[in-house]
Chain A
Amino acid sequence: MNSTVVTSHSIILPEWTNDILFYSFEIFQKLLKLIESLPGGVILIRYIKSSYQNDPFRSILEIFLVLFALRYFISPKYSIEKQKNNLHLSKREIDDLCNEWVPEPLVDDLTPSEAYLLKNIPIVDGRISNKINLLENPYLSNSPHNNDIKYADNKQEFKGKISISDNLENVINLASNDFLNLNNNPYLKSEAAKVIRSRGVGACGPPGFYGTQDIHVRLENDLADYFGAEKAIIYGQDFCTAESIIPVFLKRGDYCLVDSGVNLSIQKAVIISRCKAIWFNHNDLNHLVQILEDLKDDLANQKNPIPRKFIITEGLFANTGDFPDLPKLVQIKNDYKFRLFIDESFSIGVLGKSGKGLCEHFNVDRKNVEITTGSMANSFASAGGFCIGEKPMVFYQRIASSAYCFSAALPPYLARTTSCSMEVISKSYRDQINSNGLKKSIVSKLQANCQLFHNALSNNSNILNFFKIVSTKESPVIHLVFNSDYKKILKLPNFYINENNKYAKLINEQLDELNEFNEPNKLNDKSGSNAAAIKSERIDYYSNPTFKKHHTLKEIQAELSPYDYYNIENFLIVKIVNKLLYDHHILVYASPRILRHEVIKMTPDLKINVHSNLDSTSIEDIINKLSQVILETCNNIKSFQDLKKIFDDENGISKY
């Protein structure tokens, strides 16, 4: 033991170190001389000497200071790298090139199928509630907006100007996301009115700069309490909530495993975050585990620092109306040390006995989900998005999440509305408990209606001849897609991929389910019978009066793109929607998803939004009418040619 104690005397240095010491001393002396010869150098040296004598610590500090100054302020200057392979051009050559350059038009004109979609966006006259009146859709009409429309109280005059087709009044609305019918709740309205009367409408500033009102702080507390989380933060719009949060916590080098059925907001966020994203088959937790096993070694090597790792999924999928097996998911994420991110936009007010979402549905503590985001625009009948979770996670968003920092706060009246919605939902649940279940809460009513609707649909063989129900019985948004038999008859693919997008290609290559695409009716397969059939079809854009600009020969000869196929399939759904609307005054909708933006595979779907105020007879009635309309429409369409012909006729396209 003793031998390890070494005093300074006992150090014997090898010969050459002496030389080095000697020379470095020599250099140091010369350096001092040099400094002394500079103006003010003597003072500097004296200063350094005395400071070293009196307070060696201070010298170290000062040296640090200088080094830091150098490091922080001198070195990192941005330099824009010149392109290495730039051509050298004379001024005249550049002028010529600039003159010759012809840009593409800023936007492409609408194709007939897109125009059809635009013309069929429903416009509601007045409030959006269970029964609505629809206006004629003005888009693409030649008359510009009618400027002298009067305000709501002058409805009469209003009607005189734009004719509301008489048969579009009193339409049963099954298209709104207001599942609990709170949008016109008198309590919410009166509270919102109070806020507008005392605070005006807008918040007039970002949350960081005097845009936060006491109401916002209270809402954040209410949200945290309601969901049993530590903290909450609110955003001005639901769509940009996840889009802005994910890039805060996932940077280059971090990992996320994403369900391949997530909504567009998450898709965009994951791509823009530049983290390492791996997509697993929709709701396939075995696939997830398999990926995690494959990743294990990779991750084990990354110790210092360990990357941030998330599993990203949804509470109730906006795209498919199903949900993941949360207890199993929690188990998996704990096993593999991942965090869980869940977007609960559609599950709040819907799942769980009191409507608190996926966690309540499975009786899982909210603490197991590290990040929960959600929308306040659906069941809460307000607007904006929110995020709940641990303190540091929320804290960091307040300065790093750009949609929070660089945007005005939510209008205070909407913040108050959300607080009140939670109050109403909780109260109605308490009433149910207190009355021993006699007085049904609004959430129970909704859940019962979803179940009724789902069951009635599943028993309707007419509908199931053509459609398949994708959503689960708990979902208030019922997703119907054409079943594979009918798709086969129409020679339409089971799924569409946004082929022009490099991420969409990459992601779908990763996925197993791609196999489904390799069936004979895959779009790109030019030898396939479908492609051959379609090749012979040409669209004459010229004969359609709405499309006049920018048409080249190439476009006239254009074949149908995958996007056109998508739109044509969607057209059939819109047709069913319209028939149901005009014949029976029931509004359901074709999903407005945009293939051009999505990176996951998708297919057009018919959606029906159930709400809490329906009763069993009306549900019965709706489904009968729906099945009647589907029969009437689909029975006439037995091949792609049939479909295309109807499509062309309706859009004024004549064939060559």
Chain B
Amino acid sequence: MMLTDEIPNIEINKDLSHQQKVDKEYGPLESDEFLYLSQYDNLIAFESPPIEEPPYLTTFLTYLNYLILIIIGHFKDFFGILLTPNDFSDVLEKDGHAPYYSKFESFYVRRLKTRIDDGFSRPTVGVPGRYITCIDRYSSNYNKTFQYTNETTTCLNLSSYNYLGFAQSQGQCTDFSLEALNAYGTGSGGPRNQIGSTDLHQKCEAIVADFVGKEDAILFSMGYATNANLFTSLLNPNCLVLSDELNHASIRFGVRLSGATVKTFKHNDMKDLENIIREQISQGQPKIHRPWKKILIVVEGIYSMEGTMCNLPQLINLKKKYKLYLFVDEAHSIGAIGPKGRGVCDYFNVNPNDVDILMGTLTKSFGATGGYIAADKHIIDRLRIDIMTCSYAESIASPILAQIISSLKTITGEINPGEGEERLRRIAFNSRYLRFGLRKLGFIVYGMDDSPIIPLLLYIPNKMPAITRSLYKRGIAVVIVSYPATPIIASRVRFCVSSSLTKSDLDRILSEMDYFGDKYYIKYAKGKHNDEPFDDKPNATLTMFDKSTY
């Protein structure tokens, strides 16, 4: 086998016909039965799904596993630095300069994560659609460096954020963005408030605002930066932020930058939140006891590592009762849930006007990139001149805007009527189908039934490389997540469902997972969910898969 340091230039899908290419990016619908409407039954009070506990033995083994890894790591560090200091030049002082990172700071990365680095950052080629093609690579030094081969592995893609399957290189969205590339150029010319606003920006903002149900919206070239630089324009040190403990890093960065005081509440725990609200309003700011100027609740629509959703109805009650402001980050929920794909408000059937600020990213459901903030016009008008990114950072480039416009129009049915609806119903079906399938097989999965993010709990850290390597070999790409993105004992593998997958694809995943689940002893809830129905509505027509069909 040829191994190179340079990444090879591989052309994929050379011999495929146009239709084959299209199908590889977006699988054809196999039957009208495999559609579902994603909507919350408002008659039932919202309850966050219960967290299933692993067996005690698993918890014990998880700790033991970490313990051994940590001890071996410290031993290696200790003797390594004594015996082969050259290998440790990155953590040692050099000519009077401190190392870029200390031994302690980087311990987790060097000693734990590096061991499973082959499961991260696999370089890919082509569209991250229904299938994703990865370039195979090998490491001869325990993942310190990799060498590439000329071979690729094509995997079913459960790793990319491609909820509605708009990651495509064919079809109306690509045509539109190519047209825009031609008409407008590659980049954007400068910040929004300098020169970077075009008619396309105007148009796209209007469409996004319309889609999420707000008066106005504003677009940014990066989702992370949207959050990171928003809160400084809303809050000051006399303000309070009530933040869910599992909020995304971008939100935490942004809130920290604003200088506002932060109180976190337990994930989705509305009782805890209300207690904090009452305490904070009555006590006021610490020491001086002056009342808070503003209080902002910050939550996410769907939590990207948990698959849970915020309790929007209850949050709105609290917000109204205590005169607070509410910010919802819809990064993973916009497009992905709701009968019309319009995010959590649509899903819970609440009025978007009850949420003060709806933020979202365009990276996940629309095959584009960037972020938006939607709110009342007077808020957006203020933010346009007050948000740092508008005046200092490059604006979003036109081909991306074209992708957003065309995918949103597809969803609303303005382009290709019917296609958008099919996409919405397919993601709803696929999410439920895979989730119920995995539960039936005896895995512990977290999250809401309708959420397209399905974290499957592994707990014991050494199961992570085992699963990701095995599935990769069998042509399934998944993401593994562990500490620090999750609690230390809750390592998991995450399936991101997409409309582009077909039911047979999901069946294939289930059958592979059935096999590996037994092989690696990760069916922690075996037998507990055998009889669960796919659908709690009594006259649902679908019969759930049974093991004999695959």
Contacts and interface: CB of A to CB of B under 8 A. Distances in A.
Interface in A548-597: 549, 587, 589, 592-594, 596-597
A144 B71 CA distance: 63
Interface string A103-142: 1101111100010011001111111110000010011100
B359 interface: no
Which one of A73, A109, A192, A587 has the greatest number of beta carbons of chain B within 10 Å? A192
A212 B71 CA distance: 33
B71 A210 contact: no
A197 B178 contact: yes
A209 B376 CA distance: 35
Contacts of A41: none
Interface stretch (B32-40, B45-53, B201-209, B512-520): B201-209
Contact of A200 (B167, B215, B393): B167
A34 interface: no
Given A103-B324, A240-B222, A201 B388 contact: no
A406 B209 contact: no
Nearest to B93: A306
Contacts of B10: 214
B384 interface: yes
B391 interface: yes
A339 B96 CA distance: 11
Interface in B195-222: 195-203, 205-207, 209-210, 215-216, 220-222
A35 interface: no
A367 interface: no
A339 B6 CA distance: 30
B525 interface: no
Contact of A406 (B194, B250, B391): B250
A17 to B, nearest CB: 32
Interface residues of B, number: 155
A65 B250 CA distance: 37
Given A125-B199, A205-B161, A200 B367 contact: yes
A400 B228 contact: no
B278 interface: yes
Nearest to A371: B100
A207 interface: yes
A106 B184 CA distance: 36
B189 A177 contact: yes
Nearest to B158: A210
Nearest to A207: B121
A428 interface: no
B183 A204 contact: no
Contact of A396 (B106, B209, B386): B106
B378 to A, nearest CB: 6
Contact of B389 (A65, A239, A417): A239
A495 interface: no
B388 A264 contact: yes
Interface in A173-193: 173, 175-178, 182-185, 188-189, 192-193
A104 B290 CA distance: 13
A466 interface: no
Contacts of B25: 200
Contacts of A486: none
Contact of B186 (A114, A192, A408): A192
B366 interface: yes
Contacts of B394: 177, 237-239, 375, 377, 383
B71 A68 contact: yes
Nearest to B389: A239
Interface string A87-98: 101000110011
Nearest to B66: A72
Interface string B234-252: 1011000000000011100
B194 A175 contact: yes
Interface in B83-132: 89-90, 93, 95-102, 106, 109, 113, 120-129, 132
Interface in B269-303: 277-279, 281-283, 286-287, 289, 291-296
Which one of B128, B177, B191 has the greatest number of beta carbons of chain A within 10 Å? B128
B399 interface: yes
Nearest to A587: B195
Interface stretch (B168-176, B430-438, B451-459, B532-540): B168-176
Interface stretch (A150-158, A278-286, A616-624): A150-158
A107 B234 CA distance: 6
B336 interface: no
A549 B381 CA distance: 14
Given A106-B325, A202-B369, A339-B97, A98 B278 contact: yes
B506 interface: no
Contact of A217 (B123, B194, B195): B123
B456 to A, nearest CB: 15
A380 B187 CA distance: 8
Contact of A177 (B168, B190, B289, B405): B190
B229 A217 contact: no
A98 B322 contact: yes
B81 interface: no
A210 B132 contact: yes
A126 B184 contact: yes
B342 to A, nearest CB: 16
A268 interface: yes
A109 B167 contact: no
A92 to B, nearest CB: 11
Contact of B169 (A128, A138, A196): A196
B491 interface: no
A198 B323 contact: no
B410 interface: no
A377 B191 CA distance: 10
Contacts of A102: 323
Given A94-B282, A124-B197, A407-B223, A203 B185 contact: no
A272 interface: yes
B128 A272 contact: no
A235 to B, nearest CB: 8
Given A145-B202, A218-B7, A196 B177 contact: yes
A549 to B, nearest CB: 7
B300 to A, nearest CB: 13
A221 interface: yes
A118 B381 contact: yes
Contacts of A268: 257, 388
Contacts of B479: 209-210
B363 A110 contact: no
Contacts of A202: 166-167, 362-363, 366-369, 400, 403
Contacts of B333: none
B168 A200 contact: yes
Contacts of A383: 187-188, 221, 394, 397
Contact of A83 (B123, B225, B232, B286): B286
A140 B381 contact: yes
Contacts of B206: 144-147, 149
A189 B197 contact: no
Contacts of B160: 204-205, 209-211
Contact of B178 (A104, A193, A393): A193
B229 A239 contact: yes
A183 B185 contact: yes
25 contacts: A65-B71, A101-B291, A106-B357, A127-B184, A145-B203, A175-B194, A176-B194, A182-B187, A189-B186, A192-B186, A197-B169, A198-B127, A198-B169, A201-B399, A210-B124, A239-B388, A240-B225, A268-B257, A272-B253, A309-B97, A400-B109, A403-B222, A403-B250, A410-B369, A594-B388
Interface of A: 61, 64-65, 68-69, 72-73, 83, 85-87, 89, 93-94, 97-98, 101-104, 106-110, 114, 117-118, 121-129, 135, 138-140, 144-147, 149, 151-153, 158, 173, 175-178, 182-185, 188-189, 192-193, 196-205, 207-214, 216-218, 221, 236-240, 243, 249, 254, 263-265, 268, 272, 305-309, 337, 339, 375, 377, 380-383, 390-393, 395-396, 398-400, 402-403, 405-408, 410-411, 413-414, 417, 500, 502, 549, 587, 589, 592-594, 596-597
